[in-house]
């Protein structure tokens, strides 16, 4: 394990509190949806809604070598067996083992109560069950896209409800709270983290993986006035990722929410959750991707901006982002494929 001290870097937050706006931005993060009134209103509110967060202190980051984040053989064996029983494809099994499994390595078989905030397609629930075979696992998500085979194989209690409503309404307590790429979607992360802390017993642990979007999105604030930000720029900015955090911003926020013994962990040679590579490689890929993006999609953006300004028709945006979605160097694809990922491990005093 290698430990470094990371300097304080500012993060960003899109602090829009209207639930209807939040739901719309999660569904249409590039404001390409059918509600032209909401497209215009959100774009107009964006300059006042975005705040720059200024952490003050350096923080420590643990970098794990490949052998240090591998799951125990018995856990891997259970995971493979559960995945096969659930009917998941081999490609999805490989993806889950590559991107999610390492975040479960600190969950011991003795754990009895686990709360999973956000469950995606359910792959993480299989891994949680493999790590803690006898635990009660409660999964909460606003959407239910989990195949029935996974729910049965993982033996979880699934609740389809708003995450914030659940953590502020329920008074259950768990030994572990697990979330994977959920916190970056929260428009009030302090409120969410404080709620998650209340769900944990004394000595309980939160494990939360999320991308450090603030490492890339800060460049947009530095070089583009939000007053002039066009919807054609929103692929990289991504309104669905409301909390564009950095290591220092993340650390200070988790501590302020009442957690202790906060650890920030990254994989040495697999910083991005999808693609292997260290920081040097990710920067090189990002630079090359931006060159291709400007070359291929720059003229299309220019045409749309020239004819329609800040309010292009949704059809034009859907065409632009639909084409960008097909290639790795599309603005949002490139952001997601080159942004470093981090795992927060924190306990309740």
Say whether pLDDT at 220 is over 90: no
Report in angstroms the alpha-carbon separations of 192 from 27, 129, 211, 311: 20, 24, 17, 33
Q: Across residues 207-230, what is the average pLDDT?
A: 76
Q: Residue 264 — pLDDT band, cuts 50, 70, 90?
A: very high
Predicted local confidence at residue 147, as pLDDT: 87
How far is residue 190 from each of residues 154, 253, 294, measured CA to CA in Å? 30, 7, 36
Q: Which domain holds residue 105?
A: 1-349
Whether residue 102 contacts residue 300, with contact meaning beta carbons closer than 8 Å, is answered with no
Q: What is the rounded CA–CA span in Å between residue 211 and residue 206? A: 16
Q: What is the pLDDT of residues 116-175, one digit of tens each?
A: 999 888 999 999 999 999 999 999 998 888 888 898 899 999 999 988 889 888 888 999
In the beta sheet, which residues pair with residue 342?
210
With 0.85 as the threshold, say if the pTM is over it: yes
- How far apart are the C-alpha atoms of 271 and 283, rounded to whole Å? 11
* Alpha-carbon span 15 to 12, nearest angstrom: 9
- Number of helices and strands (H, E) in the chain? 14, 12
Number of other CB atoms surrounding residue 272 within 10 Å: 22
* pLDDT for the residue numbered 201: 95
| CA–CA gap between residue 12 and residue 23 (Å, rounded) | 19
| Domains of the chain: total | 1
pLDDT of amino acid 170: 82
CATH number for the domain that contains residue 150: 3.40.50.150
Distance of CA 279 to the CA centre of its chain: 19
**What is the rounded average pLDDT of the residues 235-262?**
95
Which tens digits make up the pLDDT trace of 9-61?
999 999 999 999 999 999 999 999 999 999 999 999 998 899 888 999 899 99
The residues facing 208 across adjacent strands are 179, 344
pLDDT at 305: 94
Strands (E), the chain: 2-6, 11-14, 50-53, 59-64, 113-117, 136-141, 157-160, 174-180, 200-211, 243-244, 260-267, 341-347
């Amino acid at each position: 394990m290698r430990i470094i001290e990371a300097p304080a870097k500012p993060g960003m937050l899109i602090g829009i509190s209207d639930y209807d706006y939040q739901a719309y931005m999660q569904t249409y993060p590039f404001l390409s949806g059918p509600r032209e009134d909401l497209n215009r209103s959100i774009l107009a509110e964006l300059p006042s809604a975005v705040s720059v967060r200024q952490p003050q202190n350096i923080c420590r980051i643990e970098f794990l070598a490949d052998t240090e984040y591998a799951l125990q053989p018995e856990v891997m064996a259970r995971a493979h067996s559960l995945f096969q029983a659930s009917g998941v494809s081999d490609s999805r099994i490989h993806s889950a083992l590559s991107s999610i499994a390492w975040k479960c390595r600190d969950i011991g078989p003795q754990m009895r109560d686990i709360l999973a905030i956000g469950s995606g397609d359910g792959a993480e629930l299989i891994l949680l069950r493999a790590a803690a075979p006898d635990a009660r696992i409660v999964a909460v998500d606003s959407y239910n896209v989990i195949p029935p085979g996974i729910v049965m194989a993982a033996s979880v209690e699934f609740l389809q409800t708003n995450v914030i409503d659940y953590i502020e309404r329920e008074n259950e307590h768990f030994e572990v709270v697990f979330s994977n790429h959920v916190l970056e979607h929260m428009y009030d992360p302090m409120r969410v983290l404080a709620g998650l802390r209340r769900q944990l017993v004394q000595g309980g642990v939160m494990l939360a993986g999320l991308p450090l979007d603030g490492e890339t999105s800060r460049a947009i604030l530095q070089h583009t006035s939000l007053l002039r930000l066009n919807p054609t720029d929103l692929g990289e900015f991504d309104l669905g990722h409301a909390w564009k955090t950095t290591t220092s911003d993340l650390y200070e926020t988790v501590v302020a929410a009442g957690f202790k013994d906060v650890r920030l962990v990254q994989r040495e040679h697999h910083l991005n959750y999808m693609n292997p590579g260290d920081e040097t490689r990710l920067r090189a890929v990002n630079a090359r991707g931006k060159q291709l993006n400007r070359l291929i999609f720059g003229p299309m953006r220019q045409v749309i901006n020239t004819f329609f300004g800040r309010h292009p028709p949704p059809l034009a945006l859907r065409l632009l982002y639909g084409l960008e979605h097909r290639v790795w160097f599309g603005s949002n694809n490139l952001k997601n494929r080159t942004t470093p990922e981090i795992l927060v491990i924190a306990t309740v005093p």
